[in-house]
């Protein structure tokens, strides 16, 4: 039972990490587009 709980916790933290990583990627892409847009002006 304990092992199952640990695996569930690991799975949850992995999901959270994935979400955080994808959010960071989205923000990085926005920053790149903004900086490219500003350099054109």
Tokens, residue 26: 């989205």
Give pLDDT, residue 20.
95
Give pLDDT, residue 36.
82
Give pLDDT tens digits for 11-31: 999 999 999 999 999 999 998
Length in residues, the chain? 41
Give pLDDT, residue 6.
94
| Number of structural domains the chain divides into | 1
Number of helices and strands in the chain (H, E):
1, 0
Give pLDDT, residue 34.
83
Is 41 in a helix, a strand, or coil?
A: coil
Owning domain of residue 24: 1-41
* Residues 22, 41: Cα–Cα separation, whole Å: 29
């Amino acid at each position: 039972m304990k092992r199952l709980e640990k695996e569930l916790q690991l799975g949850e933290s992995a999901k959270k990490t994935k979400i955080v990583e994808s959010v960071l990627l989205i923000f990085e892409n926005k920053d790149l587009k903004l900086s490219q847009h500003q350099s054109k002006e």
